[in-house]
Structure formats: C-alpha cells, structure tokens
Structure 1
C-alpha cells in the first residue's frame, strides 16, 4: 500500500529563499529611494529660491525703482507675489533668508551696492549667478 503525500504550504527552505530575495531587493531599493528623496528636496528648494528671485524682480518693477529691497520677508509673505508662500522642503516652514548658511535648506539675501544689486547664496548650491 502506497501512501499519498499531499503538498500543503511551503517548506522552510523555500520561505527562507523568498525572504533572502526580498531582503536583497530592499537593500538595493532603500538607498536609491533615499537618494531620490534628497535630490527632490534639493530641486524643490532651488525652484523655490528661483521663485523668490522672480518675486524680488517683480517687486522692483512694481515699485518703479532701480533699488532692490533690503528685506524680502514681506515679499515672500505677500499674496501679490505668491499665491502660497514657498515652503522649505527641508524644514516644512515658509522659506525665509538667514544671516548665515547654517545647514541644508538655508539661503541668505543681501542688498549690495547701495541697493542697486543683491547677492543670494544657498545651501545646497543652486547654481545662481
């Protein structure tokens, strides 16, 4: 008399192989995801800084003057230049200039040459002139 064996479920070896494969895939995917997340934060930050620069230029034209503002906080908060204030992707707060580049997601704004020009520096570097 021959016993018939019914297959029910998976063996321990098969489950371990599946877990090993999943572990390898996760090990490859997570670093790429984190890199893509950091790159998207940097891109969003630089885009927001460029929007602030456009608002500064628009402000100067609206004022009919050759002088740039000394303070950009009021421009950033103004509904005339932004439908929504730009949000810093690193901090989740409204973007405002700082006095020093303390860390990622910071930028400085300085009116120079008696207000005829300005300098914006950013961290991370956004390739601004």
Structure 2
C-alpha cells in the first residue's frame, strides 16, 4: 500500500507509466510530434498553428477524457480532497500557466517527451518543476495550509 493512496499498488504505477511512454512514443514515431498537453490544447483550441493538425490534437485530448472515464467506470469513484481555501486555485492556475509559457512547455512535454529524448532544455525544465514543487509543498506545510 502507498501512503495517501490506499488502493494504489506499485504495479499500477508501472503500468500507467508504461502506457504514458507508449502513447508518447506512438505520437513521436507516428507523426513526429511530442505529446505535450499544453501544445496539444493550444492547437486543439486554434490558439496555435504549430504542432500536429487540429484534428489529431483534438483526438488526443478526447482520448484522455475517454481514458479517464473508463478508469472511473472500471475502478469506481476515487476520493477527491480540495484545499480548505479553494480561491487559491485561481492564482495557482495562473502561475502554472505563466510557467508553462515561460518554460516553452508543460510537465508532460518536458518531463515525459523531452527527457526521453535527452533534451538538455527539458531536463533543466523538469528539474525546475520538481524543485519549485518541493519548495511549494514545504512552504504550504510550514504555513499550516496543508491538507
């Protein structure tokens, strides 16, 4: 059992990672593009002309939603815990969006796809994401704002 995730088993994490890697490899080898979610969302919404065709981006995003739905139908509902002050989610989301733009990509683009290609920029970006995440958790817990 994994603390905080009473129903999760290590094999599930392994299989999930394997499927994420497989999806990224299929996208890279199939159409020559990385499976960075922020770029795919920008393309699917028409906010960007770079990247895969809009229809491919839409299909990928729809597949993520369907996959989540199938997961929920298969395993049932999961416990969702929200922070005590939900209004913090708005500035947090804005900071994540700004960071994604400044870093030229999101965690999936850099962490999954870029690191697998040994991209120096993606390795630095992923290390930055991780350090910022660790620091944020430490600050929130020190301030008594933990969940």
Query: Common fold, TM-score beyond 0.5?
Result: no
Identify the structure with the greater helix proportion. 2
- TM-score by structure 1 length? 0.31
- TM-score by structure 2 length? 0.28
Higher relative contact order (CA 8 A, sep 6+): 2
Identify the structure with the greater strand proportion. 1
